[in-house]
Chain A
Amino acid sequence: MQAVKTSSDVLFDGPEWTFELLEKARDVIEDIALQDLGLDVYPNQIEIISSEQMLDAYSCAGLPLMYQHWSFGKHFVRDETLYRTGRQGLAYEIVINSNPCISYNMEENTMAMQTLVMAHAAFGHNHFFKNNYLFLQWTDAAGIHDYLAFAKNYIAACEERYGLEAVEEILDAAHALQAQAVFRYGRPPQPTVAEKKAMQRVRDGYESSQSLLDLWTDATMRRETSDDGDEDPAISARQRELNLPQENVLYFLEKNSPILKPWQREMLRIVRSLAQYLYPQKQTKVMNEGCATFVHYYIINQLYQHGRLTQGAFMEMMHSHTNVVLQPDYDDGRFGGINPYALGFAMMTDIRRICEAPTDEDREWFPDIAGDPNWRGVLKDAWANYRDESFIQQFLSPHLIRKFKLFTLSNDADRPNLEVSHIHNRAGYRDIRRELARSYDLAYLEPDIQVTDVDLRGDRELKLTHFARNGIQLEPGNRDEVLKHARRLWGYNVVISVKTES
């Protein structure tokens, strides 16, 4: 690529940034992002913050407003120490899935980095948030700020009213179950007909007219008939009544715990809502970072080709870019798993290649997109309609598998050694692709735990079941601690049993 530039075309020269330069750069970036790439973004609100403020933002899951809790303080002191001692850099940017889309740029960045970061966050991430189906279905970008403000104030009010310790107890317990506080497959269950009737009865004052004694006789009689085992119709009836099994443990506790007070239920709802809000981000790390990285890479190359960047600025950006997409080999000391930036960027670049210059292999593997003249459309479609797991399953090409030299290791506890089960050859492509896709499927990564049964009229013991796959158990220390927290929320015993996949 030949840079044709005259000094008047260059956006900036030198490392210092000013708000005028930022405006100018942003306008040019926006032009490429919207006109050339055809991105569709929320309005941008770009905020310049200091490194201390970045650390603040870091410790609160990157959210601009957060309720107070000691664990955020813990993360803060750890990040701060790592940063001060130079063992960890700070992200150049944080971007929030909201409308308007807020991104934080650090004041320490050079002008070149600010330009890169704007292309990356304010357009790449922003487009992804606005268009990906998971975010559209599960998050309310316009409402999140209000909700965060509500949550912060509500919890502060609870602290004032009920004391720090009482609030901390509930939050600790709720945080312990945060990963079990999302609906993975559907919206929360609607009240059943029976429940609606029950609510109606309460309203009509029906229950107050019943004597306590009647309730007891009912319960005792039911208890006696339910001793036969799992097949008992009474058990399945009560499971139906409680919408069991239920994967969202926190939701179940919020709705059904016999001991929680209304303010405590509200706190569980807050923790659960935020977990749900962040859940799509957990499922789209590769795609989200890949999208942002692809977008910034495309934009800075366009800028350079149009002579809007000095060679120095372009080199600085490229240096940063290559650092971000570095993928060390498995036997490299720096290896820490597969880098989502590297994989996502490589896959998106590869999709463009498959559209523009397909090989026979590509035509065989990707008949729908190979040679498609509109690579922008293919990418936008991918960004909108997939999550990491399905994206990899759909788009990881043999070309990339070879490029990354991917291989799978089987680790079977029953065997003395690890075994190489597939390598990057014709026989291995599909299996490697499937295994890699699966390793991004949270349903596989996170333990599958469900509330399976509870006898509200009997001993009230809450029964959780861990559906173990491939014989992988829960880490026992953590499990016991979490169960203690669960008991605190439930008020009665909570047990967890393992069901192994046949």
Chain B
Amino acid sequence: MHHFIDRRRNPKGKSLGNRQRFLRRARDNIKERVDQSVRGKALHPAGGDPQDGEKVTIPARGLKEPRLAHSATGGLRHHVLPGNKDYVVGDTIARPQGGTGQGGRKASEGGEGEDEFSFTLSQDEYLEILFDGLELPDLVEKNTFETITVGTRRAGLTTAGSPNNLNLVRTMRNSLGRRIALQRPSLAALREVEEQIAMLAAKEPLTAVQMQLLGDLQARLEILKRKRRVVGYIDPLDLRYDTFVPEKIRNSKAVVFCLMDVSGSMQEREKDLAKRFFLLLHLFLSRGYEQTEIVFIRHTHHAQEVDEETFFYARETGGTIVSTALEQMKEIIADRYPTEEWNIYGAQASDGENFGNDSLRCKALLLEDLLPLCQFYAYVEIVDEDADMLLSNADAGEDLWQAYRQVKDKVQHFEMQRVSLPSHIYPIFREFFLPKIKGAQNAGG
């Protein structure tokens, strides 16, 4: 008649499919908002990933579910309302602005959810939309995947193997097929003949016909028994064994080198812009690779590998020699990141000032030592907020910029851009990672 059911163990998230359909539908709207949110976003204190996804507000436009509904104004209507205090018949009341006095209720009945509404994207959804359409810059074609063995995997059936791997189902299926094909007499058939013989034998005096029959039956029994011996129940032919092969999983790893000039000219603003770029790069790469590491290298006139905190917040003074950072990167790669295991990415931020003719040295280091090892290398030059001229004119620039432009002419997987505002970061990031023609020439090969 009645019962209780505990459904709490049932999977929740029954509307996951609906949610995916909704996100797909709202994709353009959401994308716009995600782009915006990235542009104006404050960095997370730890500089890590956004942990809890991202809140987005999307306009209900385009997600409307139109219905035929009465217009909220016009015509003659009567409303019954509770709580009359002192009105008498004939009193007049000024028409409330924009409604009928039942505004709230009408709005929800008719044009459901006309206003914007916000919800939270999970981190995965957020990143997927954020990096939608971008791809990993694996421009350098080389075997950069480490293979490691993590277990075994089924690899079909064989006719030989150890008993513990016997596949009983397949074996019995083969056996059954063979027994049917070769017409192996069943035990029941055998018993039947034996019973008939026993019945006949029990009758003491046997007639000639019965004697004859008994003889036939015994002959038949002999045949049946022989056939059962010849056609075995299980024949070595039937045996099937499972086989397993060691499974090799391609375990991809990436390391991002963040190189930053921290000499006096790099103020909080400059560092903040650089950080936004490094953060995006790291988020992006962590989606493509099972494991991503970041190496922070800062430099003045000498370079140093540091932790994140020091990288972004310590103050330093001194001259600027950019090549020291590149040297340091080269050493660390040689030391800890064998290129056959690691996908290496470089990201460099600087205000573009460099010492003497060090820029030429940088160019040489990049072309000869670093770019052949890197999948991708990006240079971001952080210029003054009012440096419109620099932003629009790629020809103008200091030594470092000029030197890097020559690198760019030679190498495809090297990109450079200038930024002056937080809102520039995401667009140039997108530009860097838009799909390009793969397998183009590269310096290292």
Binds B, one of A143-151, A188-196, A210-218, A399-407: A399-407
Nearest CB of chain A from residue B249's CB, rounded to whole Å: 31
* Interface status of A37 (Cβ within 8 A of chain B): no
Nearest CB of chain A from residue B11's CB, rounded to whole Å: 9
Interface pair B68/A474, CB less than 8 Å apart:
yes
The interface centre, meaning the residue of B6, B24, B70 with most chain A CB atoms within 10 A of its CB, is B70
Interface pair B79/A409, CB less than 8 Å apart:
yes
0/1 interface trace, chain A 214-258, chain B, CB 8 Å (1 if under): 000000000000000000000000000000000000000000000
The DSSP consensus for interface residues of chain B is: loop
* Interface status of A1 (Cβ within 8 A of chain B): no
Residue of B nearest to A410 (CB): B78
Interface pair A424/B111, CB less than 8 Å apart:
no
* Interface status of A447 (Cβ within 8 A of chain B): yes
0/1 interface trace, chain A 315-341, chain B, CB 8 Å (1 if under): 000000000000111111001111000
Assess A76 versus B8: contact at CB under 8 Å? Given A421-B89, A474-B69, A478-B111.
no
Interface size class of B (residues with CB under 8 A): 35 or more
Binds A, one of B12-20, B40-48, B286-294: B12-20
Binds B, one of A63-71, A293-301, A302-310, A370-378: A63-71
Tell me which of B1, B20, B21, B74 contacts A471 (CB under 8 A).
B74
Binds A, one of B80-88, B187-195, B196-204: B80-88
Interface pair B111/A439, CB less than 8 Å apart:
no
* Interface status of B120 (Cβ within 8 A of chain A): yes
Chain B hits for A472, CB < 8 A: 70-71, 74-77
0/1 interface trace, chain B 94-109, chain A, CB 8 Å (1 if under): 1100001110110000
Interface pair A330/B81, CB less than 8 Å apart:
yes
Chain A hits for B17, CB < 8 A: 68, 73
Interface size class of A (residues with CB under 8 A): 35 or more
* Interface status of A422 (Cβ within 8 A of chain B): yes
0/1 interface trace, chain A 43-81, chain B, CB 8 Å (1 if under): 111111110110111011000000011111110111011
Nearest CB of chain A from residue B411's CB, rounded to whole Å: 42
Interface pair B21/A69, CB less than 8 Å apart:
yes
A84 to B101, CA, bound (A): 30
Nearest CB of chain A from residue B29's CB, rounded to whole Å: 11
Residue of B nearest to A77 (CB): B119
* Interface status of A491 (Cβ within 8 A of chain B): no
Assess A48 versus B77: contact at CB under 8 Å? Given A68-B17, A475-B71.
no
Interface pair A338/B82, CB less than 8 Å apart:
yes
A473 to B72, CA, bound (A): 9
A449 to B69, CA, bound (A): 10
Chain A hits for B3, CB < 8 A: 44-46
Nearest CB of chain B from residue A226's CB, rounded to whole Å: 29
Interface pair A407/B68, CB less than 8 Å apart:
no
Nearest CB of chain A from residue B272's CB, rounded to whole Å: 30
Chain A hits for B111, CB < 8 A: 475, 477-478
Chain B hits for A331, CB < 8 A: 83, 85
Binds A, one of B59-67, B135-143, B250-258: B59-67
A151 to B70, CA, bound (A): 31
A177 to B25, CA, bound (A): 20
Interface pair A470/B4, CB less than 8 Å apart:
no
A418 to B71, CA, bound (A): 17
Tell me which of A48, A410, A432, A474 contacts B5 (CB under 8 A).
A48
Interface pair A70/B25, CB less than 8 Å apart:
yes
0/1 interface trace, chain A 168-193, chain B, CB 8 Å (1 if under): 10001001111110000000000000
Residue of A nearest to B72 (CB): A475
Chain B hits for A438, CB < 8 A: 78
Interface pair A411/B101, CB less than 8 Å apart:
yes
* Interface status of B149 (Cβ within 8 A of chain A): no
Chain A hits for B10, CB < 8 A: 49, 53
0/1 interface trace, chain A 458-499, chain B, CB 8 Å (1 if under): 000000001010111111111101100100000000000000
Interface pair B81/A409, CB less than 8 Å apart:
yes
Residue of A nearest to B70 (CB): A472
* Interface status of A281 (Cβ within 8 A of chain B): no
Assess A176 versus B95: contact at CB under 8 Å? Given A43-B1, A329-B83.
no
Chain B hits for A81, CB < 8 A: 117-120
Nearest CB of chain B from residue A249's CB, rounded to whole Å: 9
* Interface status of A408 (Cβ within 8 A of chain B): yes
Assess A176 versus B76: contact at CB under 8 Å? Given A327-B82, A417-B92, A475-B71.
no
Nearest CB of chain A from residue B52's CB, rounded to whole Å: 11
Interface pair A485/B4, CB less than 8 Å apart:
no
A273 to B113, CA, bound (A): 25
Q: A176-B65, A406-B82, A419-B90 are in contact. List 7 more A-B contacts (CB 8 A).
A: A73-B17, A73-B20, A80-B119, A413-B75, A420-B91, A435-B78, A478-B68
Q: List 8 A-B contacts (CB under 8 A).
A: A23-B4, A81-B119, A176-B67, A327-B82, A407-B84, A419-B92, A435-B78, A482-B68
Give the interface of B toward A (CB within 8 A): 1-8, 10, 12-15, 17-26, 63-85, 87-95, 100-102, 104-105, 110-111, 113, 117-120
